[in-house]
Amino acid sequence: MVDYRKELTKQLAEINHLAKEVDKRLKKSKDLEEGKLRVCSSHGYPQYHFRAVGDEKEIYIPASEKDKIKALVQREYDQKIKRELEQSSKKLQKFLTSYDVNNIEAIYEKLHVGRKNLIDPIIPTKEMIIEKWYADHPGDKNPFQKDATVTTKRGELVRSKSEKIIADMFYDYQIPYQYEPCIELNIDNTRYTGEYSMKYSKKIYPDFAILNVKNGKTVYWEHLGLVDDESYATKNFSKIIEYEKHGIILGDNLIITMETREKPLDVRLVKIKIKGFLE
């Protein structure tokens, strides 16, 4: 289950910031006479009437006193906003003091193993989620022969040093990953005219599939190691087009890293992308 505490805490900070801004506005109107403004319409035009505190009768404010009208209307608006922000802040603070989504999962975690073994928890544990994900996304499925291999920290063989760097960073960040899983894309080229349309299945082997355990999202990671090679670049950019046609969108559930012969893999950028994925 997603923990929204971080988002709610940010929203509380935003509400409190707005409250401070409203206080600054109200200080500017402190010299205005206290009272109540009434607005009505006459022949399609707004009219403004003001009754000062302690007065029984209200007075009409002519349009010539536009600045005064504007200041009174603004103060009234700011006062209402201040009250609403204060109420929202109190409610949110009260909720956050008692909100802990982990309490639901803790009920299962605190059980005796003898009970755990007999229960199907309403929220799968982190271990259950990861185990099922590995079963649904088996790795090392690319039949293409590995000419050169490098061993990762986890013990699998990958095709390049750059892939090892990326895999090892997944391992260090405790991100569940599979190397070269298989994705089957159903291609339907119905735009072609004639007696038949081209429909076929195509298997693609991304370099990595990774799991964000917090939100259950699977993301595919491709490393393009020779983008300065024209034929290599053309082939892989075509692959990206196929990905996006099938809902695997760059910047959403597809991440790409690149390098050339002269510009090796930028490890700093890999870390940035991993941290963005984990958010």
Cβ contacts of 34 within 8 Å, gap of 6 or more? 52, 53
Cα 148 from chain centroid (whole Å): 37
- The amino acid present at 17, given as its one-letter code, is H
Express each pLDDT in 82-125 by its tens digit. Answer: 999 999 999 999 999 988 888 888 999 999 999 999 999 988 88
Cα 260 from chain centroid (whole Å): 31
Q: Which of 263, 279, 261, 259 is nearest to 166 (CA)?
A: 259
CA 8 – CA 4 distance, rounded (Å): 6
pTM of the model: 0.69
Express each pLDDT in 31-68 by its tens digit. Answer: 999 999 999 999 899 999 999 999 999 999 999 999 99
- Name the DSSP letter for residue 123: S
Mean pLDDT by 10 residues, the chain (279 residues): 86 97 94 93 92 93 93 95 97 92 89 92 91 96 85 94 96 97 77 54 92 93 92 90 89 94 93 92
What is the model's pLDDT at position 192?
Answer: 46
CA 50 – CA 231 distance, rounded (Å): 77
CA 157 – CA 206 distance, rounded (Å): 15
Q: Residue 210, SS3? A: strand
- The amino acid present at 131, given as its one-letter code, is E
- Asked if 214 and 102 count as a contact pair (C-beta separation under 8 A), the reply is no
The full set of domains in the chain, from first to last, is 5-103 (1.10.287), 126-278 (no CATH)
Q: Which of 176, 64, 160 is nearest to 126 (CA)?
A: 176
Q: Residue 189, SS3? A: strand
Q: Which of 155, 213, 206, 165 is nearest to 185 (CA)?
A: 206
CA 146 – CA 160 distance, rounded (Å): 10
Runs of H (alpha helix) within the chain: 5-28, 66-98, 102-109, 113-116, 126-136, 161-172, 230-245, 267-278
Q: What's the token pair of residue 275? A: 């941290």
CA 9 – CA 16 distance, rounded (Å): 11
Evaluated on CA atoms 211, 134, 142, 205, the torsion sign reads: negative
HSE at residue 109, side-chain half, CA atoms within 13 A, is 11
